[in-house]
Amino acid sequence: MIVDLRSDTVTQPTPAMRNAISTARVGDDVYGDDPTVNLLEEKVAKLFGKEAAVFTPSGSLANQLCIRTLVKPGEELICEVNSHIVRAELGAAAAFSGITTRTWTDPYGELSANRAIEIARPNSGPYLVSTTAVAVENTHNFGGGTIHDIKEIEALKKWAEPNRVKLHLDGARIWNSHIASGVPLSEYGKHFETLSVCLSKGLGAPIGSLMISTKERVAEARVWRKRYGGGMRQVGIIAAAGLFAIENNISRLVEDHLRAKQLAKACHEIIPNVIDPTRVSTNIVGLELLGANISAEDFVAQARAEGVWMGALGPTYARLVTHLDIDDSGIEFAVKVLQKLLKQAFVSK
């Protein structure tokens, strides 16, 4: 048996999703005449209370299109130190757009508006770098699937508006945040000038993200998408999977969250210090293996040999992510393997 918990990006399209793909109406999206893409863009923009959206092949591209429209070359974007936009997009903001970045630190990546405000330097004049935008990642991947308090987002927005600072939401897993917190998608949308959302993580589509904003910014983003090589042709076959995911796979995310909590509790039961189950509210389980007699990389290798696949994201940190391809029997199998390996990993030499 193999239980693949490396990421929620590893899901396979269901037969119903494959049927939606095979029957999709298509056109040339670069010309703007793919009806399935257009429908997806309209539907997702409406979910977040925005005017328009543009379909992209990846979340990284969606993020980069968003910040490109908010921050001029030489200006500054700030975000939490472990945000995807600065840790996992290979310096794209600087390489593509000449954007400089600075970061603040929050435990578990949890948003504190005051921490962001403390380091922000808007309107710094002709001799210093000005903060033009703030990026918030919700849920926060490297924080362990952290959901941000909507009150902190509101506080950040209240400060940003009079200071003419724009807010961007990296919402790759905003669907998980929405389901776990009960905050409407439109409520998130109204606080941010731009948003990126992913269809190929928790929602189970094979490919695709969207950049969401005003009609004017989306029109600009389409130009940059083409310039970056992201223009796509008869891509309605992929957009159809995204439409299916939006219409069928949002509410079921609660199942992933419950299974992640089960994993966390099982690991905590064996070695309490590796994880606090009360902090697991979505589909990401991060194991802190500090004090173990092996590295995270070796722990992950041992688990893989036993049939449980996960990722090592640091010397002592291993990540597991639940998703729609993992059922209760898979979780039960993973629990047995992880509990056994944790006992071995923390036995004194």
How is the chain split into domains, by residue range?
15-248, 252-345
**Residues facing residue 30 across a β-bridge:** none
Domains 15-248 and 252-345 share a fold: no
Q: Tokens representing 296? A: 């995270």
Superfamily grouping for domain 252-345:
Aspartate Aminotransferase, domain 1 (3.90.1150.10)
* Whole-model pTM over 0.85: yes
HSE value, Cβ hemisphere, 13 Å, CA-based, for 309: 10
- CATH for 15-248, options being 3.90.1150.10, 2.40.30.130, 3.40.50.300, 3.40.640.10: 3.40.640.10
For residue 36, say if its preceding peptide bond is cis, omega within 30 degrees of 0. no
Torsion angle in degrees (nearest 10) through CA of 243, 244, 250, 253: -140
The residue whose two tokens read 């995911």 is 245
With H, G, I as helix, E, B as strand and everything else as coil, classify residue 45. Answer: helix
Tens of pLDDT along the chain (349 residues)? 999 999 999 999 999 999 999 999 999 999 999 999 999 999 999 999 999 999 999 999 999 999 999 999 999 999 999 999 999 999 999 999 999 999 999 989 999 999 999 999 999 999 999 999 999 999 999 999 999 999 999 999 999 999 999 999 999 999 999 999 999 999 999 999 999 999 999 999 999 999 999 999 999 999 999 999 999 999 999 999 999 999 999 999 999 999 999 999 999 999 999 999 999 999 999 999 999 899 999 999 999 999 999 999 999 999 999 999 999 999 999 999 999 999 999 986 4
d(CA 265, CA 327): 17
